[in-house]
Chain A
Amino acid sequence: MTGRGRVAATAVGLVLVAGFCAVRFEATTDITDFLDAPGSAMEGALSRRLSRSEATRTMVLSVAAPDLALALETSAQLAASLRRDPVVAWVSSGPDPDLPQTLETLYFEHRYQLLSSDPETSLPPRFDDRGLSEAAAALKRALAGPLAPLVRGVAAADPLLAFPGLLRRLQRASSPALALRDGRFVSPDGGSAIVFVGTAYPALDSEHHAPLLARLEQDFAALDAAAGGVLELEMSAVQRFAVRAATAMRADVTRIGILSAIGIAVLFVVVFRSVRLIGVASLPLVAGLLCGLAACLLVYGRINALTLAFGGALVGVVIDYPIHLLAHWLLEDDTPDASGALRRVWPGIRLGAATSFVGFAALAAAGFPGIREIGIFAGAGIAGAVVVTASALPFLVPARRASGTTAERVAGALSSGIAWLTRHRAAAAAVPAVALLVCALGLPGLRFTDDVKALSPVDPELVAEEGRVRDRVLGTETSQVVIALGRDDEDALARNDRVAGLLAELVAEGALEEFRSLHDFVWSAALQRRNEDVVRSQPDLGPRFVAALAREGFKPGAFEPFLASLDARPPPLRLDDLTGSALGHWIRPFVLPRDTREGPVESRVALVTLLRGVSDPARLAAGLSQIDGAVFFDQLALLEAGYRSLRRAAGIMIGLGIVAVLLLLWLHYRSLSDTAVALVPALLAAGTTAALISLGGGALNLVHLFGLLLILGMGVDYGVFLAETARQGESVGATALGLVLSCTTSVLGLGLLALSSNPGLRALGATTAIGVISSLLLGPAVLAILSRPDRGSPAA
């Protein structure tokens, strides 16, 4: 096939891959992909469901003003605007005006089924003669109390006052911390108007929530300006953290990307006197990213945004291939064209790519789906980049080369420098000696951190505001929950009944401050039937109670509806009856979204109970261990534990990758010195980088580990190119220039991320920058020390 044909075939291939990616592209921001440690699939699945739940999608707005009327007016206007927004699923700024009718319709006929969580024990004393006399007296007192008209309306059918009792329980459960003014929610101190907003997309979907929050802030700013700048809007919204993080990262990447692009353009113009070659050199990287993306879409049907970030960074290693090709094409006169240059550097590219592939693909063996995905992305990316480098790159490079270039002068200087080091091995040894010294000083004190906050920028003011609004409105910590799992609604509700019973005991014991449960709204059908059975099993309940009522001065004939109600057997209240009703906003946060297409945990019904003030976790855990299908779930603790496991697993996989690379190099070279030239600089560079971070007072996190993996990949590439050059007895000038260019490109491309405000990006940038520079210094030094006299000087 001609060169033009190969270029055309490569282009067609890339277009097809790009087309496949465009058609099949589906991204997720689900961090739980990275937290599903082997053996913790259930926690991971539940965490995923929690992150998609209505509770996390609900934003709380708190509007304060010098007087409450103005705050209420402002909140009403914001609510009206939000209701028109397509991203918003629902807005609630006060109880539904039809709520009383809704409650009556839903609950009145079930009043005997929802009497007691422990009917066999608590109900019989209420229904003996003494209990009924007390109930009759209570009814008379109630008729003189503030709710007398309510009581009068139900007394004939419900003289036991089961329904008013049920209403009180529901009132406490629905909005425990809120007060109401003019039928609208206000904070308990009466200082702020409160609006709840449910969005139609998962909380971490910043793409949809960014414009929503921008519109909200814009609307509020206009209202505030009209009010003279006296209004204050505070929010509790997971969406805001996600949007803030994504916006900051995007801004950083754009700013740093521009700097990188300018730097690389200047570099190529100075070295190659060509801007066109930037495009040529970028082609393997583009191909690698496309192939990595396509592989993930093919295997998983979607890609995680974190895979794109970390996998993309790892694939950045392929920039070495075109740069070495171009350096040799530019400098070596005996290579008539770029194809000749490719033949010269191909052994190095092939081996470097193989080592990177083995090192990165080792990640694919990890138990974490997210890490596996990164391994697949990086492996496929390197393979794709190598294919494009070999098949098309030489034919895209112009036939004419500039002469007398800066590159020649730099290559000459580098070549002389390495030759000098080869002659003065003691001086060369100083470089790895310094690296070893740094390692010796820094590595013993190396610390790891599993604080998730180290990865993402969390504005302390935002956190404080979130806390203020949550304290003001919700009164519960959503990170600590109990989840009751069941194969269907009834099964889950039965377990939820038991959980509620246990938690009530813990509250009584002082081991728990309070909890909010679906149990306040609905019980299992079995418990409802038990209540009904106890009521109906009371001998002569109707006549005895009517007699007791008569003794209190009631007219016996007025209670026919009550006597008739004792014979009715309505079907139990179901969860579905509530979720589809006007109470749905209060009910749905307790029910995790279900997906029967996914795993066994996802397909089970999961009911959430929110906890506050767990002071005795051991007692809670012990109690829950007696309830099959009940799980205590601390999201923050789980996140940290998952992150810790992830970091350890990544560390192990990187270690295994190093061993695999070592074996590969040994099998290829069958020489200790050549293997050492290829591997030792990379290992020392990674160690030096970690040691410097430690000496600087830092602790290594997961991003640092990926940065170290990238350093190992690049460092081994550097070593391999040097070793291949030495083995072939060629001039080291072009190779050294390639290394300098590769290093500079990496520092410009990734190292500049050290300027980012995002801790994760900053960690990746700093690690990469320190590591590749260390590799660049160590590679020639180790080569000089270990070069074999029988091959002559590498610079010859």
Chain B
Amino acid sequence: MRLRSRSALALVAVCATCFAGPLRAEDGAAAAAHGLDDLLEAFQAMPGFSARFEEEKTIALLARPLRSRGSIYFAPPRLLVRRVEGPVPSLLELDADQLRYSDASGTERFDLGANPTARVFAHTFTDVLAGDLPRLRTTYHIAFTESSDESDGWRIQLTPRDAGLARAIESMTVRGHGLVLIDLVVREGSGDATVTRFSDVDPKRHFEESDIAQLRRPPSP
């Protein structure tokens, strides 16, 4: 049992839910032709990001998968907000190394700095949306495939370089089209898997201060 790996896994799962979404033709055409570098450069130029998601966690302990739905928001440089609307409302906020989780039972704060491994995974998401390719390459082997047919989009598969992490997280696979994410699949070493599908993706979302304050409001009990 390795807590570091477990914490890392948790954050991977959190990050993973932030990707994907349906294709928009006008965004996909530009990015698909320029490979990974160009794709991440395009992410870097994003003013913000929002999407709806549906998530399905297949866990060995449970007879049936856990499902949830909600919205996800990213405001550069490092703020990620994930609102789960059902079946159990919750709010997750990741700002640099500070993670805040609120649900009907209250709010808990976690400092990711206490766990370097967890921190690396947590920042994977923001690194992708911020287009920080060097940091991603430090942590992962990256396999990037792009269909010659623009309508099929691209696929990034991240495999941890560290053997210890690799035992916990087998792989993370993101699919998208242009700046629009389609889905994310996280496969864990234990055999558990989380699939997150995105919809209503807006890669040009701009957040005012008031928007961010609104996003950070905890769910009603």
Q: A-side interface residues toward B, CB under 8 Å?
A: 94-95, 97, 99-101, 103-104, 108, 140-141, 143-156, 167-168, 171, 179-184, 186, 553-555, 558
Contacts and interface: CB of A to CB of B under 8 A. Distances in A.
A180 B3 contact: no
Given A140-B66, A145-B90, A183-B116, A153 B3 contact: yes
Contact of B61 (A144, A156, A184): A156
Contacts of A555: 60-63
B4 A101 contact: yes
A553 B9 CA distance: 22
Contacts of B2: 100-101, 104, 153
Contacts of B92: 146
Interface string B72-111: 0000000000001000101010001111010101001011
A749 B71 CA distance: 82
B149 to A, nearest CB: 36
B25 interface: no
Chain B contact residues: helix, strand, loop or mixed: mixed
Contacts of A95: 113-115
Nearest to A157: B1
B133 to A, nearest CB: 19
B3 to A, nearest CB: 4
B216 interface: no
Contacts of A186: 113
Contacts of B111: 171, 179-180
A553 B64 contact: yes
B61 A554 contact: yes
A311 B133 CA distance: 72
B112 interface: yes
B1 A108 contact: yes
Contact of A146 (B5, B14, B60, B113): B14
Nearest to B121: A149
B7 interface: yes
B66 A104 contact: no
A149 B4 contact: no
B63 A152 contact: no
Given A152-B59, A152-B61, A553-B62, A103 B3 contact: yes
Contacts of B103: 141, 145
Given A154-B1, A180-B111, A554 B12 contact: no
Contact of B113 (A148, A181, A554): A181
A78 B186 CA distance: 41
A152 B111 CA distance: 20
A103 B66 CA distance: 29
B112 A180 contact: yes
B155 interface: no
Nearest to A147: B10
Contacts of A101: 2-4
Contacts of A151: 6
B6 A184 contact: no
Nearest to B168: A149
A101 B117 CA distance: 12
A175 to B, nearest CB: 8
Nearest to A99: B114
Contacts of B3: 100-101, 103-104, 150, 153, 167
Given A104-B3, A183-B116, 11 more contacts: A95-B114, A99-B114, A99-B115, A141-B88, A145-B103, A146-B14, A146-B99, A152-B61, A179-B98, A183-B115, A555-B61
A646 B186 CA distance: 71
B99 A180 contact: no
Given A553-B64, A555-B63, A150 B9 contact: yes
Nearest to B10: A149
A543 B95 CA distance: 42
A138 B66 CA distance: 14
B8 interface: yes
A180 B97 contact: yes
Interface string B53-67: 000010111111010
Interface of B: 1-14, 57, 59-64, 66, 68, 84, 88, 90, 92, 96-99, 101, 103, 105, 108, 110-116, 119, 168, 188, 190, 192
Contacts of B113: 94-95, 179-184, 186
B104 to A, nearest CB: 9
By Cβ-Cβ distance, the 7 closest A-B pairs, closest first, are A180-B113, A149-B9, A100-B3, A150-B6, A153-B6, A149-B10, A100-B4
Contacts of B61: 143, 152, 155-156, 554-555, 558
Given A104-B1, A108-B1, A147 B66 contact: no
B99 A148 contact: no
A149 B116 contact: no
Given A145-B103, A180-B114, A153 B119 contact: no
Nearest to B98: A179
A167 B118 CA distance: 15
12 contacts: A97-B116, A100-B2, A144-B57, A150-B6, A153-B9, A156-B61, A179-B98, A179-B111, A180-B111, A183-B116, A553-B62, A555-B62
A477 B13 CA distance: 41
Contacts of A97: 116
A149 B13 contact: yes
Contacts of A99: 114-115
Contacts of B64: 553
A534 B101 CA distance: 32
A108 B1 CA distance: 10
Nearest to A94: B113
A146 B110 contact: yes
A182 B105 CA distance: 30
Contacts of B6: 147, 149-154
Given A554-B63, A558-B61, A100 B7 contact: yes
A322 to B, nearest CB: 69
Given A553-B64, A555-B62, A558-B61, A149 B114 contact: no
Nearest to B67: A144
B102 to A, nearest CB: 10
B8 to A, nearest CB: 7
A280 to B, nearest CB: 70
Nearest to B112: A180
A149 B99 contact: no
Contacts of A153: 1-3, 5-6, 9, 190
A183 B7 contact: no
Contacts of A152: 6, 9, 59, 61, 188, 190, 192
Contacts of B96: 181
A152 to B, nearest CB: 6
A474 to B, nearest CB: 17
A156 B191 CA distance: 14
B10 A148 contact: yes
B10 A553 contact: no
Nearest to A98: B4
A287 to B, nearest CB: 63
A348 to B, nearest CB: 76
A149 B90 CA distance: 17
Nearest to B190: A152
A152 B161 CA distance: 23
A382 to B, nearest CB: 63
A748 B85 CA distance: 85
A310 B61 CA distance: 75
Residue of B7, B64, B114, B168 ringed by the most chain A CB atoms within 10 A: B114
Contacts of B88: 141, 144
Given A143-B57, A146-B14, A150-B7, A181 B97 contact: yes
Contacts of A149: 5-10, 12-13, 168, 188
A146 B11 contact: yes
Contacts of B168: 149
Contacts of A103: 3
Nearest to B104: A141
Given A100-B4, A150-B7, A152-B192, A144 B66 contact: yes
